[in-house]
Structure formats: C-alpha cells, structure tokens
Chains A and B, each alone.
Chain A
Amino acid sequence: MNVSEALREIRNKTNDRDEVGMDDEELLAYFNEAVTFISNYLVSINSPIMIQEIEVSTEGTTLPADYIKPAGLYPVRITGNTIQSLEDGPVTMRCFVGYPKTPLDGEIVVRNEGLIRAAIRLASIYVSNQQELDVSQDKVLLAELQNAILAAVGAPVPTQA
C-alpha cells in the first residue's frame, strides 16, 4: 500500500472524502504518529519484527536514527548518540529500531498489511479527536486494536522476565 491509498482510507473513515477538513500533510502527520505508537507497542512486547542487527566498533558507532533499545544485554556502552564495544573487537548487536517517518511521496515502510490497517484506524481516531468529536467509543477500540496488532504479528504474549 502506498501513502496516497492510506490517506484516502483515513479520509473515508473520517468522512472527509472531499478533502475539505484536512490537507494531506496534516493527515500524514497523524498517520506517522500512529505508526510510531504501533512500533513502540511492538517493541514493548519484544516483537522480533522490530529488530535490526548493527555492528558496534570499539571506537564507537553512531546509533541508528530510530534506535529504541537493545534486545538483551550486550558488552556495549552508549554515550549520547554513540555506541561503543567494550570487548576487544567489534560486537554484533541486535536492537529494536522504530519505523522511520513515511514521506508524502514515498512508500509506507511498514510491510505488514495488518499493521498498516491498525495505523490507519488509529490515525483516524487522532483526526476525529482533533476535530473535537467524541472518541470515547474509539478509545475502547484501541484495546481491540492492540489485540489486532498481536494477532497481526503473531507475537507471543509477553511473559515476565
């Protein structure tokens, strides 16, 4: 799915098919916000689809732009935006990295159709909220949304570490 399709879906859900309520940029901002929420949620349940591997050198490597947290403990030290290996050589580290922002003319970085649907639904809740419409029912939907995400990514229910 590309960006314009996603924005059209959000317009459908918020009864703004004629593009009189919000412009594309504003809608995209809500969509990106929804994607950020979903990526943070996926990280909180330790979903492996958010994991990337990075090579950490002893001199120090710059952290990925959307770095969130390491997957487990590694012999590394983070100082500001730099990450450094504490071993004698480089260390391959697995870490959770959030989805980057989707630009207006680009492809959506989220690959999973189910997740894109969840993001669209969440973005339309944000839009309705901004328009001062009653979203209390939608809030209830949010819990359902999280279950939908769990079902979409097939992630195990997180257990206590």
Chain B
Amino acid sequence: MAINVKRLVYKIRYKVKDMDAARYSDYEILESVNECIRYLNQEKSIKNSDFLEKIKHYVQEDMNAEVREYNELHPEEPKEYYDFPVTGAELPEDLITLVDIMRTKDGYHMSPIPAVEQINPHTQGQYKITNGRIYANTDFDMLYRAEIATLQLSDLSDDTAIIELPEVFTELVTKVSTMILLNSPDTDVMLREIERVADYLVSGRRYNNIKVRMPFKV
C-alpha cells in the first residue's frame, strides 16, 4: 500500500550502481528523497487527489487525558488542558486543505463562522479556525488532505518505515530522487518533470468511486 523506505533506498542505490554505499551515503539519498517529497507536496494534482485524505478525531476528554499523563511525567513544564470552545486545539501539522468537519456524535457537517465571532454556546454545529487553532463547541472529526511526511534519519534503520504514497508512485519517487542525487537540475525543470509524471499518474485515479460533493452543496 505504501512505499517501504528501505526498499526504496535499495532501488535508488541499484540505479546509481552503489550498493556498497561507497559513493553516496544514506544521508544523501535520504535528502534527495525528501527533496522529491517536497516537490510532490507542491504538486497540484496530488493535492487534489484523495490519496492523501486523512481523518483526525478531536475528542476533548481523551486529549486532556493525554495532557494529564504528560503533565504527571513532566511536572516542570506542564502543557495546557484543552477547552475546545475557548482555547481551541491545534490543527494537524501536516494539513494542506480542510475537506470537512463532522460532529463526532452524529456526523453532522459543521459550518464555519468568521474568525471574529464567538462560538455560539447554545449550538454544536459551528467551528472556527484562527491562528492555527480550531474552535468548536463539541467533539468533532476533521477530514483533511495531508502533506506527505518527509523522512528522518532514524527511518533508515527502521525496516517498517514507509512513505505515505501508493505503491504506484515508487517508480516516480525512485526516478526523481535519482535525478536529484546524480545532478542538480534547477527547481523549475524539476517541478515541471514532477508535474508531468504526477499528472500522468494521478489523473482519474482514485481510491473509491464516491462522488465528491461540491463545496456549495447544502
């Protein structure tokens, strides 16, 4: 389902004929893969596909239980407790665009209000986003498009580390990372190449056949 990092590194090493790691270090390969991922994150056709959709559950009680646990372990620098309507909660760090916010208890599609307004304490159907935080009067699920996470050095020694892209992208990531590793074409050329390959891969390819609701649907 996803691209295994270890196998990807071997594929790139095979392409540059350096299985002994005598010419390119793992670190260099990691950086070129990360550069490739950053280009992919900028690529519009990938942003608009459903490969990257994720759901994050915001449940105030559970999140506060985690904070309590953390604070007991680190009393010297305690974290603040969550109060969704008043202080809100952080947006996911890998967020690109928001797709939908649903109330947890019944799946009601909540509606946004302007940042200057206060959340109405008598309804549970509103949310607002300001300053990187989301405010609501209830627990909710956030459906969003996420960025592909870049790799860390520790991923190289972890056999189970993956890149969150469908396997069909393996060839693209291998090819582009190798191009980056071998010579450094300038950014525009690289982006154009990504655009070409990604457009070819992504267009019309979806995980499911659900009709996407238009944003103006009530």
Contact = CB atoms under 8 A, between A and B. Distances in A.
Interface of A: 46-48, 51, 70-75, 87, 91, 93-94, 156, 159, 161
A73 B27 contact: yes
Given A48-B21, A48-B22, A75-B27, 4 more contacts: A70-B25, A73-B24, A74-B25, A91-B27
7 tightest Cβ-Cβ pairs between the two chains A and B: A72-B25, A48-B20, A46-B22, A72-B24, A48-B22, A73-B28, A72-B28
* Interface size range of chain B in the complex: 10 to 19
Contacts, number: 41
Contact of B22 (A71, A73, A74, A87): A71
Interface of B: 17, 20-28, 153, 182
Nearest to B21: A94
A161 B181 CA distance: 9
Give the interface SS of chain B, mostly helix, strand, loop or mixed: loop
B20 A72 contact: no
Nearest to A53: B21
Contacts of B21: 48, 51, 71-72, 94
Chain A interface mostly? loop
B20 A73 contact: no
Given A73-B28, A159-B17, A87 B23 contact: no
A72 B23 CA distance: 5
A71 B13 CA distance: 14
Contacts of B23: 46, 71-72, 161
